Structure 1
Amino acid sequence: CQYILEQKSFATGASPSSPGKGEAGGTSKSTWSDQGPQNVLQALKGAFKRIDDEFLGVSEHLGITDGTTALVSVVHRGWLYVANVGDSRAILVRRGGQAIPLSHDHKPSRPDEHQRITGLGGRVVFWS
């Protein structure tokens, strides 16, 4: 994330050399530094979606049916934001050893995830 944050704003696509310009060339007053919590979350979701779309395009062309997982954490204005896809897991461990989960695995064994997969036309197969 550090490289991405230095090079380009997640939310606007603006690079440091062209402040206020988005990737499409439109004018935008928004930059990463003035994003509120909801915009940071939307930016992370958008970044995951763009990466997923690119991967799907390449994998479809090459006949690849595998996927991957990802987990990103960003500290912005004193807040910790965590975004994950798949079964990557973020856990905060306190000094006393207490483990605090910061994310939820996207596993097909979860009823909501099973329903999401089958609702999109996929199927879930478990191996024992």
Structure 2
Amino acid sequence: MKRISIRPMEIQEEKIKADQWEKKFQYAQAREVTLEKSLLECQNKKMGLKARVTELEKSLHQHRSRNSAIELKASLGKIEELKGLSQDQIRERYYIMGEAVAQVREVADHLQTLAVRLMY
């Protein structure tokens, strides 16, 4: 009879073990579902962040291009200013050379007149 009384006790222990395993399994399944949900959320967030990075890179490129264009316009403006100054200097130099040539002609005419006077 001892065997009969032990068996229900063993059966009870096995049921308790089975219930514990069932609870562990259910907990593991619930945890798996939670982790999968969290993984999907993280993947969605990652995709959103990648899109944002792409958007920011595009914006950065546009701003760099805009800054380059502004710098080029400023450089062009400076070049045009220097070109104008150079042209003014060239005009002034031509004017001075023209004045010098006119004075040389006057001196040459005067010398020629003096030479003619001395001859007669």
* Range of TM-score over shorter length: under 0.3
* Greater helix share, structure number: 2
Considering only CA atoms, is the larger Rg found in Structure 1 or Structure 2?
Answer: 2
Q: Which has the higher contact order (CA 8 A, sep 6+)?
A: 1
TM-score by length of 2: 0.23
